[in-house]
């Protein structure tokens, strides 16, 4: 009997259905103690168990390749967006199976619970979809796909490894860019917060002379053409095109601050990508400059169909620097690269008035030649602290400091307005919408 129990415990791990609890073992021991003549029953149970394990093993291992699995992934992932991936699995066994699937996703996600369960009939195919949301740009390496298969007996499992090691790049949020593009084409931008801006006055770009129709502005009637044609004729104007829109992204340590997993630099990159695409849809020319303690990338303004891909490739490689931005270098670069009056959108971050004062002389010089729009971030964490009630002296002190920093942000907006510099103070999550709204407003008011 001692040999029987030793052998039984050694094989206990092979099943998750028979004798899975200590209570069952205790009951079996008591029965054998009080009824010794039942000793033959455990031997019968044990050999029956071995026979079932043998049958289960033959069912799983008789087929050389009983299962097939493959990962369906896009060529590249979109940063800060939900990217859908899928695992295709097919059952080649002649019986139903229970499958557990592990996909070895990149370590950047820090997820160890990517485990999927499914049931498959013979020759049945399934696609298991799941979502990943990256928060950093760069290369993400996927590992093996491991499938653990059980037969209907469920006594043992067979593991299959599918070598599908692949590296996928994570680009700036091109899914967000496409969403705004589709909304613009279908004229539904208001659904995502982009305002309709009423055009003030007339554009200076003449298009054609056409017949007057009811609703046309009387001020556009062309009296000379009316006299020649004998019918009322009006001048038709169109939006001015081929205007230059440059996004300048600062890469200093001030842009390293995180918010909901993304750095402020990533928010600025996503917003500049969408703004450049909207400018191209408006038939303007989009360009890009990145700057840190030294000059980064330069993409001259253009409106070719390949321009957005150039900007996307450049933004993919940008990283935060840890030194102060060289504003003198930025000013000389703007004067050298941007030859005509343009809309210059400068993505940066100021936490205090002293930070602005260091850069203000160079911003004023840029504003003399271009329409400068400074975009910086509202510190939402400080706002939460300032809104919480203080319960003790320390709480009052912390709340006062938070309110002081929030007030400095508003002072920065007023200081920039004194020198005719446009500005946007935005929360990170609303940065893209607020930037597009301001671009459309400036274009409607013919500021560019």
Q: Distance of CA 357 to CAs 368, 370, 411, Å?
A: 17, 20, 12
Please give the pLDDT value at position 392: 83
Query: Which tens digit of pLDDT belongs to each residue from 378-426?
Result: 988 887 877 778 788 888 888 888 888 888 999 999 999 999 999 999 9
At 193, is the pLDDT very low, low, confident or very high (cuts 50, 70, 90)?
low
Mean pLDDT across 251-269: 91
Please give the pLDDT value at position 93: 94
User: Which of 13-22, 248-257, 370-379 bottoms out in mean pLDDT, i.e. has the lowest?
Assistant: 13-22
CB 240 within 8 A of CB 446: yes
User: Which of 39-43, 305-309, 322-326 bottoms out in mean pLDDT, i.e. has the lowest?
Assistant: 39-43
Could you state, in order of their start, the residue ranges of all structural domains in the chain? 67-171, 174-197+240-444, 206-238
Q: Regarding predicted confidence, which is higher, 111 or 1?
A: 111
Q: Give the phi and the psi of residue 285 in degrees, each rounded to 5.
A: -100, 130
The Cα 25–Cα 48 span in angstroms is: 17
Burial class for 344, CB neighbours closer than 10 Å (0-12, 13-18, 19+): buried
**Residue among 356, 395, 362, 357 at smallest CA distance from 376:** 356
The Cα 122–Cα 67 span in angstroms is: 10
Please give the pLDDT value at position 31: 56
Q: Distance of CA 400 to CAs 112, 390, 412, Å?
A: 42, 10, 19
Residues pairing with 188 in the sheet = none
Please give the pLDDT value at position 42: 65
- By three-state DSSP, how is residue 192 classified? helix
Please give the pLDDT value at position 179: 83
pLDDT at 203 over 80: no
The Cα 430–Cα 334 span in angstroms is: 27
Please give the pLDDT value at position 235: 74
And the tokens for 346? 């400068």
Tell me the CATH architecture of domain 174-197+240-444: 3-Layer(aba) Sandwich (3.40)
The Cα 125–Cα 147 span in angstroms is: 14
Contacts of 159 (CB under 8 A, 6+ apart): 146, 147, 148, 149
And the tokens for 24? 């069952």
Neighbouring C-beta atoms of residue 196, cutoff 10 Å = 10
Q: Cα–chain-centroid distance for residue 95? A: 42
- By three-state DSSP, how is residue 8 classified? helix
Q: Which fold has domain 67-171?
A: Immunoglobulin-like (2.60.40)
The Cα 42–Cα 45 span in angstroms is: 5
Mean pLDDT of the chain, nearest integer: 84
Please give the pLDDT value at position 250: 95
DSSP string, 47-68: HHHHHHHHHHHHHHHSSS--EE
And the tokens for 288? 């890009």
Q: pTM of the prediction?
A: 0.77
Q: Regarding predicted confidence, which is higher, 144 or 183?
A: 144
């Amino acid at each position: 009997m001692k040999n029987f129990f030793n052998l039984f415990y050694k094989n206990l791990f092979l099943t998750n259905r028979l004798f899975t609890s200590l209570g069952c073992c205790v009951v079996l021991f008591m029965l054998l103690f009080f009824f010794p003549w039942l000793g033959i029953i455990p031997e019968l149970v044990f050999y029956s168990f071995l026979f079932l394990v043998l049958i289960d093993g033959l069912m799983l291992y008789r087929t050389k390749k009983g299962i097939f699995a493959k990962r369906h992934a896009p060529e590249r992932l979109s940063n800060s967006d939900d990217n859908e991936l899928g695992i295709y699995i097919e059952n080649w066994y002649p019986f139903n199976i229970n499958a557990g699937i592990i996909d070895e996703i990149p370590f950047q996600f820090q997820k160890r619970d990517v485990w999927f369960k499914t049931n498959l009939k013979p020759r049945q195919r399934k696609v298991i979809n799941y979502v990943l949301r990256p928060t950093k740009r760069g290369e993400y390496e996927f590992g093996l796909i491991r499938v653990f298969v059980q037969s209907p007996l469920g006594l043992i499992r067979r593991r299959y490894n599918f070598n599908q090691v692949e590296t996928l790049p994570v680009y700036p949020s091109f899914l967000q860019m496409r969403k705004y593009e589709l909304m613009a084409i279908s004229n539904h931008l208001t659904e995502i917060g982009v305002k309709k801006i009423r055009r003030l006055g007339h554009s200076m770009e003449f298009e054609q002379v056409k017949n007057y129709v009811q609703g046309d502005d009387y001020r556009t009637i062309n009296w000379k053409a009316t006299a020649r044609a004998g019918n009322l004729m009006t001048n038709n104007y169109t939006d001015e095109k081929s205007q230059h829109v440059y996004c300048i992204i600062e890469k200093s340590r001030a842009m390293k601050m995180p918010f909901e997993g993304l750095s402020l630099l990533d928010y600025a990159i996503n917003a500049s990508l969408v703004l450049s695409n909207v400018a191209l849809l408006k038939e303007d020319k989009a360009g890009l400059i990145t700057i840190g303690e030294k000059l980064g990338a330069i993409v001259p303004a253009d409106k070719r169909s390949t321009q957005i891909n150039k900007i996307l490739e450049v933004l993919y490689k940008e990283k935060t620097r840890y030194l102060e931005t060289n504003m003198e270098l930025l000013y000389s670069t703007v004067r050298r690269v941007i030859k005509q009056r343009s809309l210059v959108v400068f993505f940066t971050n100021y936490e205090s008035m002293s930070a602005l004062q260091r850069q203000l002389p160079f911003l004023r010089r840029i504003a003399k030649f271009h329409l400068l729009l400074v975009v910086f971030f509202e510190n939402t964490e400080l706002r939460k602290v300032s809104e919480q009630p203080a319960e003790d002296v320390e709480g009052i002190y912390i709340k006062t400091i938070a309110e002081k920093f929030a007030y400095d942000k508003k002072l920065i907006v007023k200081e920039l307005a004194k020198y005719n510099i446009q500005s946007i103070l935005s929360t990170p999550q609303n940065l893209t919408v607020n930037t597009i709204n301001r671009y459309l407003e400036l274009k409607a008011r013919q500021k560019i």
